[in-house]
Amino acid sequence: MPQTMGMGAILKAHESEILRDWIARQLADTSLRELLNENEVNEQSRSFLALFSNAAQDSYDEELAGQHWDDVRAALSSLSKSRALAGFSPIETATFIFSLKNPIFSALRRAFASDAKRLNEETWLSSTVLDKLGLVTVEAYQRGREQVIERQQQELLDLSTPVIKLWDGIVAVPLIGTLDSERTQIVMENLLESIVQNEATVAIIDITGVPTVDTLVAQHLLKTVAAARMMGAECIISGIRPQIAQTIVHLGVDLGNVTTKSTLADALRIALARCDLAVGALRPAPAGA
């Protein structure tokens, strides 16, 4: 079919001038200049156009099926992903593929200058193909961003649940941020593990950094306390702010036989007392002071 051969042949014949035009267009966009490096653009465009041309030799229709088109899509995906990580916006990323339209259309115009109907058909087909590739870019970009978010979530989770050894036999876990089931699970596991490691008899859970306490959070806290108690460690909950105390009472949550203190310092004093320890001044205060 001469029609399917058209695009492949045109790309092959005019590859270098399409490439030059395309690169010029990408670099002309001033808003991208800070992020783009000329050599990088040259290299990316050259390798992509080579793959594109290669795929177009095989088949060129709206399906974009076949091994060569898979390669094109894979290359485009990895490019979009790397741009997503480098901080490009979706528009800036998609511009890569959409700026190819103009050079290709001008090549088509030159090739089919005498045949208006054919020119129209080829332009339409190329437009569809490039749009599809554009969608691939956007999807890959989105996926790249999602991976970034997932990784950050994991890092946040790791960062936010440290267990601190305060004294021999006393561990503390300062909770910061909202408690959900997943985080509670991790906090609970970390706390119990460190109770075993440090042979702790008292564990302090400090909730100063927890913005709100609802029934679910309270339930999670009680679960942690119960689990620690079964292992033979006593739990103290500290950092209960006035609003949170009110909320807990209004919600009707029974913190029952859990020791609660308003500050970590108070909790530490209690914990030391449970271990038959005390902290005092080295010298007695001068008389009259």
Partner 1 sequence: MEQIPILSLGEFLLVTIQVELHDQLAMRLQEDLTQKLARTHAKGVLIDISALEIVDSFIGRSLAHIASIARIMDSATVLVGMRPAVAITLVELGMTLKGIRTALNVDKGMQLLREATGR
Contacts with partner 1 by CB under 8 A lie at 185, 188-189, 192-193, 195-196, 199-201, 223, 226-233
> Least distance (Å) from partner 1 to the CB of residue 278?
20
Give the nearer residue to partner 1 in terms of CB position, either 43 or 189. Answer: 189
- Length of the chain counted residue by residue: 289
Nearest to 208 by CA among 170, 163, 264: 264
> Least distance (Å) from partner 1 to the CB of residue 147?
30
> Least distance (Å) from partner 1 to the CB of residue 201?
7
Angstrom distance (rounded) from CA 278 to CA 270 = 9
Angstrom distance (rounded) from CA 101 to CA 82 = 22
Give the nearer residue to partner 1 in terms of CB position, either 76 or 188. Answer: 188
> Least distance (Å) from partner 1 to the CB of residue 236?
16
Give the nearer residue to partner 1 in terms of CB position, either 157 or 186. Answer: 186
Give the nearer residue to partner 1 in terms of CB position, either 89 or 260. Answer: 260
Give the nearer residue to partner 1 in terms of CB position, either 132 or 223. Answer: 223
> Least distance (Å) from partner 1 to the CB of residue 208?
24
